Structure 1
Amino acid sequence: MTLDGDENGDESRTATRPPGRPRSREADEAILAAALDLLIERGAALLSIEQVARRAGVTRATVYRRFPTPTDLLVRAIEWEYRDVAADSLDRADLDGMVAEWAEHLGNPRARRLIRRLYGTVDDLPELLRAYHEAHGRHRDTAVLTALERARAAGQLPPGSDPEVLRQMLSGAALQHLASRPDTTGADEIEAYFHAVLGQVGLSAGPATRRSAQR
């Protein structure tokens, strides 16, 4: 069974297909999901259109009609992965909420592997990291910066602290955690990790910070 939308999956029908015929949304989503799964499992360098087609249950022609190259496919797959993450949904009133959200996200093994794969493409396929940044990273960075600015204004951080430098420091800490800790690490341990990092730059202990220190 194929999801092509062409009867019996016959590629020879492609040339006679009426112009403007609607695509199969089911096929689109199967292709994008297959591409993401293969990116996580094998990395971008080992991914091929043929593998994606086989995993998605469509023909290669169906994939190529939508995505002429593997890079085009992966860029669209990254955009699709973060399609439901609205910019305002990342905004948190305080650092405790921000850290809790980071911990929940980084406690997901699939999310951890995907982020590592994306950063691993920085030299060979920089388009993927740019796609991630545009779809999610840019909004996340803005939300983190806003939370840090609020914390400084509320006296939780030293008045001379630089929110942008702290944002970059936290991003580096997240990548260090992804590289050095097992993917089975739970959200509570990750939350304690980020509170420990923030404590080193003078974050005053709020309720969540105190709970983390007691674990």
Structure 2
Amino acid sequence: MDRTDPAPAPRPAGRPRSQEADLAIMTAALDLLIEVGAVQLSIEQVARRAGVTRATVYRRFAGKTELLARTLEWANHDHNPAFVGWRDVEHMVGDIATYLTDPRHRRLLRRLYGSVDDYPELLATYRKVNGGRRAALVRQTLCQAQELGRLAPDADVDVTQEILSAAVLAHIGTRPDGESTEEIKAYLLRILEAVGYR
């Protein structure tokens, strides 16, 4: 008589699998970071919202800083490896403006810059995951504009890029969250025009 291996037993109901718990924990951490900020956020709050125990969170993350840093890596919005840049400066600024119309994105940026004294690792992580490749593509777009005569030949591209970044921070800090993509794009283009873009 042939012997066959028994079918695997069905997974019992109960606690979520590891990947499900990871997703629930980081989703809860990101939402709470946006809602209350890093200082007010606690592991207990994250566990409660994720539907897991504090022990489950601590098995994965040594503490709040590691949890939030890894959450920012996971939430990296610029994860498309096929993205190779923008057609021109207008296209680039329009993309930035679209990102800035989302109140969650704006609030996240404010939370990160507001926590720089207490949790500098968070802003460093955000810059690493969102700034490395994307920053290089911004610089490439500005250099292309300069080669085409759209940016003044004596303009310092690195400084221009810094000014654009500062304009983004100024906008999320001083302008209302309800502005449209076109309004934000016009604001950023005015900044660039002031430093030699035409």
Q: TM-score, normalised by structure 1?
A: 0.82
Please state how far the C-alpha of 1:86 moved relative to its aligned partner.
3.3
Mapping for residues 152-191 of structure 1, pairs under 5 Å: 152-191=146-185
In the alignment, the residues of structure 2 paired with residue 83 and residue 104 of structure 1 have an alpha-carbon distance, to the nearest angstrom, of 13
Mapping for residues 65-214 of structure 1, pairs under 5 Å: 65-82=59-76, 85-86=79-80, 89=83, 91-204=85-198
Please state how far the C-alpha of 1:139 moved relative to its aligned partner.
2.1
In the alignment, the residues of structure 1 paired with residue 128 and residue 161 of structure 2 have an alpha-carbon distance, to the nearest angstrom, of 17
CA RMSD of aligned residues (A): 1.9
Q: Residue 210 of structure 1 aligns with which residue? A: none
Identity %: 50
Runs of 4+ residues deviating >4 angstroms: 5-9
Q: 1:58 aligns with which of 42, 52, 58?
A: 52
- May I ask how many residue pairs the two structures share in their alignment? 188
Which ranges of structure 2 fall in alignment gaps of 5 or more residues? 1-10
Q: TM-score, normalised by structure 2?
A: 0.89
Please state how far the C-alpha of 1:135 moved relative to its aligned partner.
0.9
Q: Which has the higher contact order (CA 8 A, sep 6+)?
A: 2
Tell me, yes or no, if the aligned pair for 2:21 and 2:52 is still in contact at 8 Å. yes
Which ranges of structure 1 fall in alignment gaps of 5 or more residues? 10-21, 205-215
Moved more, 82-91 or 128-137: 82-91
Please state how far the C-alpha of 1:84 moved relative to its aligned partner.
5.5
In the alignment, the residues of structure 2 paired with residue 167 and residue 69 of structure 1 have an alpha-carbon distance, to the nearest angstrom, of 35
